[in-house]
Structure formats: C-alpha cells, structure tokens
Structure 1
Amino acid sequence: MTVYTVDPELDLVLERNVDVAPELVWRAWTTPELLVQWFAPKPWTTTSCEMDLQPGGRCNTTMRSPEGDEYPNTGCILAVEEGTRLVFTSAMGEGFRPQIVEGGFPFTAVISIEPDGNGGTKYTATAIHADSSAKKQHEEMGFIEGWGAALDQLVEVAKSL
C-alpha cells in the first residue's frame, strides 16, 4: 500500500467515525446501484454511475442540480485495495488518458475505510489538488459540508443493506 502524506496547503480531508461496518461502507462506495442513492448531497442527486474497479478503469458519475441541470463527471480509478481504500481522479479518464476538466479543476480522491474497533468505521476522504487555488475553490464549493452530507446519506443506505 502506498502511503500518502496530507499536505494542508493542497488537500482537504473529511474524517469521521460512522456506526456502519467497514464492509457496508465499501459496498456503498463500490456498487453503482448503491452509490447513486447517496453520492450527491440533497437536494442534488446522482443520476448515473459507471465504475470499473481496477486501475485504469472508468469512474463516471452524473449529478443533477435541483433545477434539473446535469453535470457529467468522468474519471479514472487509480488504486483499489479491497475493502479498505479506493483512489480515483478526475484528471484522467478511462485507461489513464489525461483529460481536460471543463468548468472546474482536477483532483484525486482517496477514500480510506478502517474498522474503528467498535463495529463501525473510521472513514477518511481526502481530496488532493494540484495547487492552492484549486483547493480553495473546492473548499468554497462546500467540500466539507457536501461530502459530510453525502457521508450521512451513505450511512443511511448502508444501514438498509
């Protein structure tokens, strides 16, 4: 496993313990039919998800705003450590093909899932940015609030499994 050191100048981190078993958190993250149920913070929705869980595989979602506007996001899976870590990026598309991110900024997400020792999960989502302006833009878009709300929704979905 590659160890990543968080750079506070470039990265945003959401870390929480949730009362759902790690295997259910993993399942909610890696099953497209489940991911569309929780991935966008309400009132936004995720209308589609394609995920090929292997390095170089696609990681594509489409989000819909409350006004009905759709925002496709294409990306690439960088690493899969079954049950514990998922790494994907918007900087590349399927097959590690570099891509231009229209109207936004590229970032890499590292999702870490660990047992918390009490039957729940220590959940860490890290968004890695190329420069401080991208980090600031992501922060101002509401990274902590949005990803936190999405995590609450993930927990609801996982508890129903």
Structure 2
Amino acid sequence: MSIDFPESRELVLDRLIDAPRQAVWRCWTEPDLLVQWFTPAPWTTKSADMDVRSGGRFNTVMQDPDGNAHPNSGIYLDVVAGEKLVFTDAMSEGFAPSESPFIVATLTFTDEGQATRYRAVVRHFTEEAKLKHEEMGFYPGWNAAADQLEECAKTLRG
C-alpha cells in the first residue's frame, strides 16, 4: 500500500552507517544500547522503556545539559525485525491519544556491503511542526545522533 504524503511536512535523514545492519538494529531496539547514543551530546538519554512490537511502547527520558528531564512517550506502529521501525508520539501505550502529537517516524535498515543504509523519514502533522523541528536542529541533531549510533554499533562487531 502506498500513501502519498506531502513532502513539505517531511524531514529525511539518509546515511550510510559503517556497521552491520543487525548491530544498528540492536542499537535501536535494546534499551541499554539506545541510552548510549540516542540523544546528541551534550544531551543524554537517561532511560528507555521499549516493547518492540506493533502497539508496543517507545518511551525515553532525555536530559538537557542543565539537568532538566524531557520525557517522550509513544508507540510503535509497525515493526519488521531487522528492517523497519515506525513509531509515533501521537499515541501512547494502549493507543491513548497524545495531547500534542508531533511526528511519525519511519526508520529503514538495509544492507549495503558490510555497512547499513539507515534512512529516517520523519513526518509531521503540520508544516508548522516540521518547520519547528527543523529550526530545533533536526539535521545537525539527527546527524550527531547517527554518528553516535555508528560508534555504538561498531562496538557490537564480533
């Protein structure tokens, strides 16, 4: 099924990660690994509570450099083991609607030689939300996190 979506509400990150796909997948789906790389420094991820299945929770708590906690709750909409994760903050566990939905993110992971093609398509509910996310530093932030993801995934080789 193909659904057209306005590109004016999407932000896309497409990177080659120098690590095997299974290692990159593990970094996205194992809480103890996710907290090591998920938030671009100097921010940190203090906790991750994940039930990696369609309808399962994807909850994180990020901490800014001043020590303030920023909880984020969401659910997985689709999970294809080793290949795709789709999650949103529009709902929380049990499909409870969010008060302020922001994104639906689709992550895909494909083999490219010994590396992984990592693609994140982040869809926003409004063009204003997309612009806000871009101004918050989507590209530098998600690229910095992808660098950290790569470093974490490399430690899982062998």
Shared fold (TM-score, shorter chain, > 0.5): yes
Size of the alignment, in residue pairs? 156
Match of 1:36 in 2: 35
Give, in whole Å, the separation in 2 of the partners of 1:40 and 1:11.
20
Match of 1:25 in 2: 24
Note the C-alpha offset of 1:4. 5.6
Q: For residues 1-161 of structure 1, what are the structure 2 equivalents within 5 Å?
A: 3=2, 7-101=6-100, 105-116=101-112, 118-161=113-156
After superposing on structure 2, the runs of 4+ consecutive aligned residues of structure 1 that deviate more than 6 Å are: none
Residue 6 to residue 122, structure 1, CA distance change in 2 (3 Å): farther
Residue 99 to residue 112, structure 1, CA distance change in 2 (3 Å): same
Give, in whole Å, the separation in 2 of the partners of 1:45 and 1:20.
22
**TM-score, normalised on structure 2?**
0.95
Note the C-alpha offset of 1:50. 0.5
**TM-score, normalised on structure 1?**
0.93
Question: Structure 1: where are the runs of 5+ without partners?
Answer: none
Q: Give 3-state SS (helix, strand or coil) of 2:8's partner.
A: coil
Amino acid at match of 2:98: Q
Give, in whole Å, the separation in 2 of the partners of 1:76 and 1:85.
14
Amino acid at match of 2:27: A
Note the C-alpha offset of 1:7. 3.1
Percent identity at matched positions? 47
Amino acid at match of 1:94: E
Give, in whole Å, the separation in 1 of the partners of 2:70 and 2:130.
20
Question: Structure 2: where are the runs of 5+ without partners?
Answer: none
